[in-house]
Chain A
């Protein structure tokens, strides 16, 4: 029972990281209608920036996280402006291939700058661990931090899109880009802001991910990126609460699957569950079926 609780909490923690990454995927998809496959690699860059800031500059963790967010935000805006904006009216496939190209570009740039030797990521938030059941159940401070960060981000994003003018404009653009323009909303700027937010979240996710799994190398972002994309699809791509639920469920399924069924098949189980969900709910758990205009 205690071990189940431990797995569950670890699952929620990993799921929280997936959820934060998935939010970036889902927001960009919802507003720009594109799959930004470079998103996973922005996570990796964020983690490297935080790493360098802590290791080489000796900055405290919080400053390093902020630096990573700043760099990733700028990078998100630049990637969008240089790689995706010129393709705004191009076929979707061209944008998708460009995104894959950006992904490789980031990975190889990281390889060039930081080499392929894995770096050991330092702990960002070590105030000891929380223990229960006579020390049998141990929850690290990173786990708690990850879950709390996830909740805070969720509340902040919901408030932002529900209450602020820019947030509402984002929802308007995601529903109908042309109609949003007719309201006077600058679509390019709105998409830019979306990329900025998504990339800042990716930086946070990168730091949280590397705090839990402290090996950092240029490919670190790929697998979590793909899983978070899966989580976004699972929850219903384009939906913010969907990304949250999808991420959490994916994390829990992965950890429980690895613990109770098979360590090797953990990832396979995750994707099997995705396929089953999509068979019954093709738009994902919270996704709305697309209304084709007839």
Chain B
């Protein structure tokens, strides 16, 4: 695991030259990257660079026009989004998209939709341990939670499927700085617990500080990649994303 780039045996997700279109708009122009087991990999880039599109394509909500995606060495392009979840890929989408009219507990139950019924209560308990605030509000309608609580619920819901790879799309969006730190602490805890995470962020500084590797996206292309620390130190990134 010293040089994860070459350890293809541990490659969990491999994206190869995907092209994605919205109608006639060429949103993703040949992106390739991979995520290895126990890594935090981050995709950073400005608004409209194609970060969310990339995640939505991996999760099966969008279909690439060409290119391939392998999860545990199995091709997953063309597999529907709901079937992909069964393979161990979970996504916490942009804007959280929790079920606002359902209770906290029902949201978590939906997160565990792919799992046997008898394992659900224990998993819910796990999520409550990680997010005690959710336990206090388990019977509350999710729409009445604060933004930070909703983000916690969205992450807890994604964890309910016991994913091998957790994809987080802008988990810090719209949150107060103190909550952003809390969310990033949780991501690090999950990572320490053995989780593999693909993190999409506009908050490049935070994302790069916890990631092992990073890819920088610009208008549908990867313009830089490498060790997260190196990317953080590079002049281009400092100028473009960190305002230094």
Task: Give the B-binding residues of A (Cβ under 8 A).
Answer: 165, 168-169, 171-172, 175-176, 178-187, 288
Would you call B111 and A183 a contact (CB within 8 A)?
yes
How many whole Å from B163's CB to the nearest CB in chain A? 11
In the complex, what distance in Å separates the CA atom of A183 from the CA atom of B81? 9
Kindly specify which of B5-13, B66-74, B99-107 makes contact with the partner chain: B99-107
Would you call B110 and A176 a contact (CB within 8 A)?
no
Kindly specify which of B82-90, B123-131, B176-184 makes contact with the partner chain: B82-90
Q: Is B65 on the interface with A (CB-CB < 8 A)?
A: no
In the complex, what distance in Å separates the CA atom of A183 from the CA atom of B84? 10
In the complex, what distance in Å separates the CA atom of A178 from the CA atom of B100? 14
In the complex, what distance in Å separates the CA atom of A96 from the CA atom of B155? 37
In the complex, what distance in Å separates the CA atom of A35 from the CA atom of B98? 26
Residues of B contacting A175 in the complex (Cβ-Cβ under 8 angstroms): 99-102
Would you call B102 and A183 a contact (CB within 8 A)?
no
Would you call A182 and B100 a contact (CB within 8 A)?
no
Would you call B113 and A184 a contact (CB within 8 A)?
yes
Q: Is B234 on the interface with A (CB-CB < 8 A)?
A: no
| Residue of chain B at shortest CB distance from A176 | B97
Interface residue from A169, A179, A184, A288 paired with B93 (Cβ < 8 Å): A179
Would you call B81 and A182 a contact (CB within 8 A)?
yes
Other contacts beyond A168-B110, A182-B59, A183-B113: 17, CB < 8 A: A165-B109, A165-B117, A169-B110, A169-B113, A175-B102, A176-B99, A179-B97, A179-B98, A181-B60, A181-B82, A182-B90, A183-B82, A183-B85, A183-B110, A184-B82, A185-B113, A288-B101
In the complex, what distance in Å separates the CA atom of A175 from the CA atom of B98? 9
| Residue of chain A at shortest CB distance from B85 | A184
Q: Is B80 on the interface with A (CB-CB < 8 A)?
A: yes
Would you call A165 and B101 a contact (CB within 8 A)?
no
Would you call B59 and A179 a contact (CB within 8 A)?
no
| Residue of chain A at shortest CB distance from B100 | A175
Known contacts A171-B99, A171-B102, A179-B99: does B61 contact A185 (CB below 8 Å)? Answer: no
Residues of A contacting B32 in the complex (Cβ-Cβ under 8 angstroms): none
Q: Is B161 on the interface with A (CB-CB < 8 A)?
A: yes
Residues of B contacting A168 in the complex (Cβ-Cβ under 8 angstroms): 102, 106, 109-110
Q: Is B51 on the interface with A (CB-CB < 8 A)?
A: no
Residues of A contacting B113 in the complex (Cβ-Cβ under 8 angstroms): 165, 169, 183-185
In the complex, what distance in Å separates the CA atom of A168 from the CA atom of B100? 13
| Residue of chain B at shortest CB distance from A186 | B82
In the complex, what distance in Å separates the CA atom of A183 from the CA atom of B109? 10
Known contacts A168-B109, A169-B110, A169-B113: does B101 contact A183 (CB below 8 Å)? Answer: no
Number of B positions contacting A (CB below 8 A) = 28
- What are 19 A-B contacts defined by CB distance under 8 Å? A168-B102, A168-B109, A169-B113, A171-B102, A171-B106, A172-B99, A175-B100, A176-B99, A178-B81, A178-B97, A179-B97, A181-B60, A181-B82, A182-B59, A183-B111, A183-B113, A183-B161, A184-B85, A288-B101
Contacting A at CB under 8 A, from B126-182, are: 157-158, 161
How many whole Å from B115's CB to the nearest CB in chain A? 9
Contacting A at CB under 8 A, from B45-59, are: 59
Would you call A182 and B114 a contact (CB within 8 A)?
no
In the complex, what distance in Å separates the CA atom of A165 from the CA atom of B106? 10
Q: Is B237 on the interface with A (CB-CB < 8 A)?
A: no
Q: Is B91 on the interface with A (CB-CB < 8 A)?
A: yes
Known contacts A175-B100, A176-B97: does B106 contact A182 (CB below 8 Å)? Answer: no
Residues of B contacting A185 in the complex (Cβ-Cβ under 8 angstroms): 82, 110, 113
Interface residue from B61, B83, B161 paired with A178 (Cβ < 8 Å): B61
| Residue of chain A at shortest CB distance from B157 | A183
In the complex, what distance in Å separates the CA atom of A174 from the CA atom of B113? 16
Residues of B contacting A186 in the complex (Cβ-Cβ under 8 angstroms): 80, 82
How many whole Å from A260's CB to the nearest CB in chain B? 39
Residues of A contacting B102 in the complex (Cβ-Cβ under 8 angstroms): 168, 171-172, 175
In the complex, what distance in Å separates the CA atom of A172 from the CA atom of B106? 9
In the complex, what distance in Å separates the CA atom of A184 from the CA atom of B90? 9
In the complex, what distance in Å separates the CA atom of A187 from the CA atom of B69? 23
How many whole Å from B172's CB to the nearest CB in chain A? 19
Known contacts A165-B117, A175-B101, A187-B82: does B111 contact A181 (CB below 8 Å)? Answer: no
Residues of A contacting B91 in the complex (Cβ-Cβ under 8 angstroms): 182
| Residue of chain A at shortest CB distance from B120 | A165
